[in-house]
Amino acid sequence: MHHTPSASTNFALPLQLHRMTADEFRQLEIAYTITESPFGPMLIATSGKGICYLSFGENGTEGLHQRYPFARIQPKENSWHRDVKKIVEQSVFFGENSGPDAPALPLHVFGTDFQFNVWQQLLLIPYGKQTCYKAIAANVGRPKAVRATGTAIGNNPVALLIPCHRVVTSAGKTGGYRWGIALKTRLIEAEKNVV
């Protein structure tokens, strides 16, 4: 029913997951852009070390400020923002941008050990595939913590690139989604309609 996440895939975005230290978390300088995307308004935010926040359907910075309460946050576009925008646009038509010009993107996220482990597992789910919460829980060594895993997935700060939309219930239902179940369904469908 579900697929075991695998590290090898033809559609692998060159993403590097960096863990934010507590110190960095307190001294954060964040630049963000809000732009239109095929999936509605998208907010992209970066620290000095990588993409630290990506959300849909937000037209303000409430969520960003809530996530990084100590950060200095200002609207300012940089090349990482443009790379993300390009990836999201191209992915609709060509799958993940895995060609020779695929930009290597660093992600910079803050979370507990448990959360970080869960998010790392998400990056192993191939484009167009799905797995279930139970499988992720097992993969981080906490087979019974399925519900906690759902919560951790829901707290993923970087939507889409950390593909929490590829996790569905064991029963094959869509499950929940922080940015709305409708969007989750759309993202899953979009990944199906690609060569």
Chain contacts with DNA (rule: CB under 7 A): 111-115, 132-134, 142, 144-154, 156, 164, 167, 169-171, 175-179
Nearer to DNA, 32 or 177 (CB): 177
What's the DSSP call for residue 40? S
Nearer to DNA, 46 or 115 (CB): 115
Residue 149's alpha-carbon distances to 3, 93, 154, 194, in angstroms, are 17, 31, 8, 29
| Residue with token string 């990056």 | 123
User: Is 164 noted as a catalytic residue in this protein?
Assistant: yes
Q: How far is the CB of 151 from DNA (least distance, A)?
A: 4
Alpha-carbon gap, residue 56 to 59, rounded angstroms: 9
Q: What angle do CA 3, 113, 121 make, to 5 degrees?
A: 15
Q: How far is the CB of 10 from DNA (least distance, A)?
A: 25
Choosing from 164, 167, 183, 187, the catalytic residue is 164
Nearer to DNA, 32 or 179 (CB): 179
Q: Are 57 and 179 in contact (CB under 8 A)?
A: yes
Q: How far is the CB of 18 from DNA (least distance, A)?
A: 18
In terms of Cβ atoms closer than 10 Å to its own Cβ (0-12, 13-18, 19+), residue 159 is buried
Phi, psi of 30 (to 5 degrees): -115, 135
Q: Which residues pair with 50 in a beta bridge?
A: 47
Nearer to DNA, 102 or 146 (CB): 146
Nearer to DNA, 102 or 123 (CB): 123
Residue 1 neighbours by CB distance under 10 Å: 10
Q: How far is CA 33 from the centre of its chain?
A: 16
Q: How far is the CB of 124 from DNA (least distance, A)?
A: 16
Q: How far is the CB of 36 from DNA (least distance, A)?
A: 21
| Residues taking part in catalysis | 164
